[in-house]
């Protein structure tokens, strides 16, 4: 089956610093990758959709200058949380979609970010 | 607007059967997904329905009625490990997934 990895699995950083999270599709090429955020006991919230080689499409209310997304290749997308604050502490999950016609999104294991 | 509704929480007994309902309103429709998510983990795919009817996969079955904008996930022979959140998601005409808030299922011995 299709495998998506995320790195790091957890990270603790100080307020004001930036954190980069990587999402890789290991055995398939992902034309589209998605970034989600999930706060405790809440559902997934789509942050942005990225297609390889083009700018990401951000959901309403998500600051594109704060959450930088780069989808440089068909197997790698990165999310950089810039100038992180404690309220950015959350569970960040990426997913990858091989083609629009394929059935499902494949999720990475998630990255837990704690900003102190 | 687009919307997915599912119960916030359900409780069931080990060995029993539970049905988790989901209603959806989307701009166009390209399938209905069910995912399972254990606490602190990413969602894992359970089922996909695009045509009306019941899809059975082991202890789990999923049903879809497109005319009613309705789906359910049926879990049989419940096990303690089935305690998790179950997420319903509908794909709209732009192939974007619209997610429900999830149903937390609590299994009691």
Per-residue pLDDT tens digits for B73-109: 999 999 999 999 999 999 998 878 889 999 999 999 9
Residues from chain B contacting residue A113 (CB–CB below 8 Å): none
Instruction: Return d(Cα A69, Cα A82) in angstroms, integer.
Output: 11
Residue of A43, A49, A103 with shortest CB distance to B87: A43
Residue of B95, B100, B102 with shortest CB distance to A100: B95
Instruction: Return d(Cα B47, Cα B30) in angstroms, integer.
Output: 14
* Nearest partner of B30 among B86, B88, B96, judged by Cα: B96
pLDDT in tens, chain A (116 residues): 678 999 999 999 999 999 999 999 998 888 889 999 998 878 789 999 998 878 899 999 999 999 999 988 889 999 999 999 999 999 999 999 876 555 678 899 999 999 99
How many contacts does A have with B, using Cβ atoms within 8 A?
Answer: 34
Quick check: A66 and A74 in contact, CB under 8 A? no
What's the token pair of residue A8? 């790091």
Q: Up-side HSE of residue A63: CA atoms within 13 Å toward CB?
A: 8
DSSP letter at B14 equals T
What's the token pair of residue A66? 């704060």
């Amino acid at each position: 089956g299709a495998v998506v990895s995320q790195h790091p699995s957890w990270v603790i950083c100080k307020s004001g610093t930036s954190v980069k999270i990587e999402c890789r599709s290991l055995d398939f090429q992902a034309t589209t990758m998605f970034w989600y955020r999930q706060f405790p006991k809440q559902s997934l919230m789509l942050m942005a959709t990225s297609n390889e080689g083009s700018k990401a499409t951000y959901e309403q209310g998500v600051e594109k200058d704060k959450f930088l997304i780069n989808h440089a290749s068909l197997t790698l997308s990165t999310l950089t949380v810039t100038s992180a604050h404690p309220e950015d502490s959350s569970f960040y999950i990426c997913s990858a979609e091989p083609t629009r016609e394929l059935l499902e999104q494949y999720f990475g294991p998630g990255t837990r970010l704690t900003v102190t | 607007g687009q919307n997915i509704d599912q119960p916030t929480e359900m409780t069931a007994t080990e060995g029993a059967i539970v049905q988790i309902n989901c209603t959806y309103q989307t701009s166009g429709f390209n399938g209905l997904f069910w995912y399972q998510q254990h606490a602190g983990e990413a969602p894992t795919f359970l089922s996909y329905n695009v045509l009306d009817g019941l899809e059975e996969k082991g202890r789990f079955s999923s049903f879809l009625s497109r005319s009613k904008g309705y789906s359910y996930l049926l879990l049989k022979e419940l096990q303690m490990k089935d305690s998790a959140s179950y997420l319903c998601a509908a794909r709209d005409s732009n192939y974007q997934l619209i997610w429900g808030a999830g149903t937390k299922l609590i299994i009691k011995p």
